[in-house]
Amino acid sequence: MAKIPIYQQPVSTIYQSLRTDAQGLSATTAQERLAQNGKNALNQQKTTSLLQKFIAQFKDFMIIVLLVAALIAGLTGEVVDAVIILIVVVLNAIFGVFQEAKAEEAINALKEMSAPNATVRRGNVVTTVKSDELVVGDIVLLEAGDIIPADLRLVAVGSLKVEESALTGESVPVEKRDGVLTGDDLPIGDRANMAFMNSNVTYGRATGVVIATGMQTEVGRIAGMIEAADETTTPLQANLTQLGKSLTILILVIAAIVFAMGMWRQAETLIDMLLTAISLAVAAIPEGLPAIVTITLALGTQRMAKRHAIVRKLPAVETLGSTDIIASDKTGTLTQNKMTVEKVYQDLKLVDAHSLDFERDNLLAQTMILSNDTKITAEGLAGDPTETALVQYQMDRNYPVDQVLTDRPRVAEIPFDSERKLMSTIHPLADNQFLIAVKGAPDELLKRITQIAKNGQVTTLTAADRETILTTNHEMATQALRVLAFAYRIVDAIPNDMTSANVENDLVFAGMVGMIDPERPEVEQAVADAKSAGIRPLMITGDHRDTAAAIATRLGIIEEGETAAVITGAELDEMDDATFAKKVKDYAVYARVAPEHKVRIVNAWQKHGKVVAMTGDGVNDAPALKAADIGIGMGITGTEVSKGASDMVLADDNFSTIVVAVEEGRKVFANIQKAIQYLLSANLGEVLTLFMMTMLGWQILAPVHILWINLVTDTLPAIALGVEPMERNIMKQPPRGRKSNFFSGGVLGGILYQGLLEGAITLFVYWMAITYPVHAAANLAHADALTMAFATLGLIQLFHAFNSKSIHGSIFTVGLFRNKFFNWAIVIAFALLAMTILIPGLNGMFHVAHLDLFQWAIVLGASFMMIVIVEIVKFFQRRVVK
């Protein structure tokens, strides 16, 4: 037999099952339950020390490859090589630890959100206890301003409203009531007789019995989901892992071939061939790649921070650039999370709210202010968001709110309740008369209205008038507006019997207002920009279907009337995961959803191979933020939970900042791709040179030559490519998606032909120097040839760095000298390379000779041919693409 949900059970049954009653538990029973079940607190998240974080950096496959290379180099006597590689690896680890120094704080932040104290009734005595000492069966008393300390079943309610947006996503406080609810599997937002841990009481008072504490609460359940969520591997991490594996295989194969050929030819000793193999490994491994990737990402995070996007984890920068889907929470992210008056209906005319200026004696304006519990304080307006919106609207219109409240003090009232959906207040007028000001739901208020104020005249409300009002109410509701109606009556005396039947009758209709949690003004353009970049925005909210559809239409997420693209959480529950995965592309708006729905949405898109970014600010968003490829939290309105579960936080809560971050992410990937093409083509050129020189029996470049070229060309120029300015139309291209990698888009072909070209030019220069020597002596000829090969291999890479400023574009269109850091990097690298040949003493250490002007001319001319040939190839590539 299925367990009956607690919201369907009468209070007497709940008391019996929890072994409590209206007087509350005894102090002894409460202590026994506390000892048995533990404190009303959430689990602490496990933290890692700085040392553990540092060690974790060495789990990356590419880093392991470099460590093995350093070990081999050290064991074979190449200590300098080993030290350089280790320095690069350690610096990379330090960068990673620095960026991720803050441990995950989602669970602990949830704990800190809890109410510090709670008012309870124990043994029929009202007392205050620490909230973490609450136990199941406690009777808790609530009033406006309280943070709800545990999950409660409400047993007595007095006009209670609870703000649950952090849990449900709804921007408007929920009206609560006692009594039994009907309906199975009601979403959290519809459980009107329950109150949930960490929600805020905005209005009224209530009494409830604790039904769950700690990790058993709805918030605790979410905390458990966060705790259990698997960490996703970013596209960048996957790409680097694959690159590391590919390079390892390549290095082993090439080294094995060279070693075998050398031993077969018996031209070298075992030790010499082992050193040659090590030289090849040094040439093949891009030692600086992990550091260059890390530095490029770190520089990207700095630029993004200046644009209000704070990155908590380095790979998140690049992940944004590959994003296919942005699944965004509505409240506080797409909207402003505050109610605003948008439409006003008076004199049977619906007008834009900002086009009106009310006269001092306008009774609609007065009723909006008087039938209202908003408090005006030095810090601003305090109260229910719907009521404060009414007062704020009049204050923004320079209406004399303070004067009206002073001249018309409240002398009697009938508070709002969810049954009749009305609120009435009574205020003195001149001539000993009194104004009854009433507000409430239009359909309920119309039942009590007999007259209408039109153009300053009060006339009888006709059937046609009533129909017009109801039609207008419906039109506003379909536009996602929350509609309130206002009425009044002038009486000679305060009624003796302050009941609804006696006070709220024979009223005069004053008008209606339509309010909405408005979209952020910049979001519509941000959505359009995302779509133009091939990114599909989704809206996920706890609001009702019509409200969600209307907001999504206004933002451009869906087209007018595209109702099939909207699905509710209840409809989602009717689908299994396989069915939903097939249909997920049909939906762009998700209404009335629970936290587990959001995770299903993210997972369904990921099954299609899509890279999913999830934005959110509430506790309910945290599991999906963790599940997504990149979680984006809100810095201002976001809870500490959502920030802790995110990879990136928007400091300004501005949705358009996400588009900026995507743009920056694409730029970062493009620049890393440029650096990789540059590094691997250069290293391939080195490998080819060493391989062919070994096979031909030529004097081979020593490991010190290769190391110095790598140190000079693999650092500053490659890092400089990481800060290249953004190329044109980068946001007009479709997302790369999960299946793309650093070799996509013609990069692999570029690496191969450019690497072959570099090796061929270097070998040609060596052959020319050997065939047509300047010196007659063989040893001098070989020294010159080796030096010219060394200089050519280094310079050709510096010239090739200019080619790498764009994968396909001409260097004359991307701007030769826009990047000042790049310009200085080339100058410094050239100076470091040249001084090993030009400075006496250094050339001896590097086993190179002085070159005359003719030899330098050959080196420079051959190296410059790299630019000429690559430009020609790119020209034909662009013609083929067109």
Q: What is the DSSP string of 446-467?
A: HTTEEEEEETTEEEEPPHHHHH
- Sequence-distant (≥ 6) Cβ neighbours of residue 407 within 8 angstroms: none
CA distance 700 to 155: 88
* Residue 408 is assigned to a structural domain of this protein: yes
* 482 beta partners: 515
At residue 314, does pLDDT exceed 70?
A: no
Share of the chain above pLDDT 70, in %: 82
- Would you state the pLDDT for residue 108? 42
What stretch of H or E contains 122? strand 117-122
Instruction: Answer for the pair 347, 341: CB distance below 8 angstroms, yes or no.
Output: no
- Would you state the pLDDT for residue 424? 94
What length does the chain have? 882
CA distance 708 to 842: 12
Structure-token pair, residue 704:
């010190």
* Residue 634 is assigned to a structural domain of this protein: yes
**pLDDT tens, 477-526?**
888 788 999 999 999 999 888 888 899 999 999 999 999 888 888 889 98
Structure-token pair, residue 799:
């010239």
**558 pLDDT tier (thresholds 50, 70, 90):** very high
**Is 738 in the same domain as 816?**
yes
Share of the chain above pLDDT 90, in %: 31
**Is 40 in the same domain as 166?**
yes
Mean pLDDT of the chain: 82
- Sequence-distant (≥ 6) Cβ neighbours of residue 347 within 8 angstroms: 453, 454, 455, 511
**Is 541 in the same domain as 497?**
no
- Chain mean position to CA 418: 38
* Cα dihedral 125, 131, 133, 137 sign: positive
* 126 beta partners: 121
**703 pLDDT tier (thresholds 50, 70, 90):** low
**pLDDT tens, 219-240?**
887 777 655 555 555 556 566 6
Nearest to 803 by CA among 867, 724, 878, 869: 867
CA distance 113 to 108: 9
Last residue of a domain, one of 228, 257, 273: 228
Instruction: Answer for the pair 30, 122: CB distance below 8 angstroms, yes or no.
Output: yes
Report the relative pairing of strands 151-163 and 200-212 from DSSP bridges: antiparallel
- Sequence-distant (≥ 6) Cβ neighbours of residue 238 within 8 angstroms: 741
What stretch of H or E contains 396? helix 385-396
**107 pLDDT tier (thresholds 50, 70, 90):** very low
Phi, psi of 830 (to 5 degrees): -65, -40
Catalytic residue set? 329
Higher local confidence (pLDDT), 373 or 103: 373
- Would you state the pLDDT for residue 104? 40
**694 pLDDT tier (thresholds 50, 70, 90):** confident
Provide mean pLDDT across the span 251-269. Answer: 71
Structure-token pair, residue 798:
């510096």
**Is 527 in the same domain as 570?**
yes
Instruction: Answer for the pair 30, 138: CB distance below 8 angstroms, yes or no.
Output: yes
**456 pLDDT tier (thresholds 50, 70, 90):** confident
CATH number of the CATH domain containing 179 = 2.70.150.10
CA distance 269 to 263: 8
What stretch of H or E contains 436? strand 434-440
DSSP, residue by residue, 140-195: EEEETTPBP-SEEEEEEEEEEEEE-HHHH--SSPEE---S----SS--GGG-TTEE
* Ranges 101-110, 424-433, 738-747: which has the least confidence: 101-110
H-state helical runs in 185-332 = 218-228, 235-265, 270-284, 289-306, 315-321
Q: Which amino acid is at 590?
A: Y
Q: Over the range 721-744, which residues count as b (16 or more CB within 10 Å of their CB) and which as e?
A: bbbbeebeeebeeebbbbebbbbe
Higher local confidence (pLDDT), 777 or 342: 342
**Is 176 in the same domain as 277?**
no
Q: Which amino acid is at 96?
A: G
Give the CA-trace dihedral at 274, 279, 283, 285, to 10 degrees. 50
Cβ-based burial of 180 (10 A; exposed 0-12, middle 13-18, buried ≥19): exposed
CA distance 337 to 332: 5
**Is 801 in the same domain as 827?**
yes
- Sequence-distant (≥ 6) Cβ neighbours of residue 109 within 8 angstroms: 639, 640, 641, 643, 644
Highest mean pLDDT among 191-200, 675-684, 756-765: 756-765
What stretch of H or E contains 648? strand 648-650
**96 pLDDT tier (thresholds 50, 70, 90):** low
For the chain, what is the largest distance between any 2 Cα atoms, rounded to a whole number of angstroms? 126
Last residue of a domain, one of 203, 228, 253: 228
- Chain mean position to CA 41: 28
Provide mean pLDDT across the span 56-64. Answer: 65
* Ranges 96-110, 472-486, 561-575, 708-722: which has the least confidence: 96-110
**Is 624 in the same domain as 681?**
no
The reported pTM is 0.65
**Is 791 in the same domain as 719?**
yes
**Is 754 in the same domain as 798?**
yes
* Residue 51 is assigned to a structural domain of this protein: no
- Sequence-distant (≥ 6) Cβ neighbours of residue 836 within 8 angstroms: 708, 842, 843, 845, 846, 848
CA distance 277 to 261: 11
**pLDDT tens, 162-190?**
888 667 766 567 888 888 888 877 888 78
**pLDDT tens, 773-784?**
766 556 667 788
Provide mean pLDDT across the span 90-109. Answer: 50
Nearest to 705 by CA among 597, 811, 836: 836
Give the CA-trace dihedral at 458, 459, 461, 464, to 10 degrees. -120
* Residue 72 is assigned to a structural domain of this protein: no
- Sequence-distant (≥ 6) Cβ neighbours of residue 243 within 8 angstroms: 62, 289, 676, 741, 742
How far, in Å, are 24, 104, 188 from residue 115 at the CA level?
Answer: 20, 22, 20
Cβ-based burial of 527 (10 A; exposed 0-12, middle 13-18, buried ≥19): buried
CATH number of the CATH domain containing 456 = 3.40.1110.10
CA distance 811 to 827: 18
How far, in Å, are 290, 453, 475, 632, 651 from residue 345 at the CA level?
Answer: 63, 12, 12, 39, 38
Angle, helices 820-838/703-713, rounded to nearest 10 degrees? 160
**Is 653 in the same domain as 664?**
no
Instruction: Answer for the pair 572, 589: CB distance below 8 angstroms, yes or no.
Output: no
Helix, strand, coil fractions of the chain, as percent rounded to 5 = 55, 15, 30
**Is 602 in the same domain as 682?**
no
CATH number of the CATH domain containing 529 = 3.40.50.1000
CA distance 683 to 706: 9
At residue 709, does pLDDT exceed 50?
A: yes
Provide mean pLDDT across the span 660-668. Answer: 85
- Sequence-distant (≥ 6) Cβ neighbours of residue 761 within 8 angstroms: 792, 796, 862, 863, 865, 866
* Cα dihedral 492, 495, 499, 502 sign: negative
**Is 717 in the same domain as 757?**
yes
At residue 648, does pLDDT exceed 80?
A: yes
Query: For 264-273, which contacts have Cβ atoms below 8 Å and span 24 or more sequence positions?
Result: 265/697, 267/697
Provide mean pLDDT across the span 613-627. Answer: 77
Provide mean pLDDT across the span 825-830. Answer: 92
* 413 beta partners: 425
Provide mean pLDDT across the span 14-22. Answer: 91
At residue 604, does pLDDT exceed 60?
A: yes
How far, in Å, are 189, 203, 426, 437 from residue 500 at the CA level?
Answer: 29, 20, 13, 13
Number of folded domains in the chain?
4
**20 pLDDT tier (thresholds 50, 70, 90):** very high
For the beta carbon of residue 558, count every other beta carbon within 10 angstroms: 23
Query: How close are the terminal C-alpha atoms of the chain, in Å?
Result: 67
CATH number of the CATH domain containing 877 = 1.20.1110.10
* Residue 61 is assigned to a structural domain of this protein: no
* Residue 79 is assigned to a structural domain of this protein: no
**pLDDT tens, 278-304?**
666 666 667 667 667 777 777 777 778
At residue 734, does pLDDT exceed 60?
A: yes
Last residue of a domain, one of 228, 249, 268: 228
Q: Provide the domain limits for residue 732.
A: 233-307+660-881
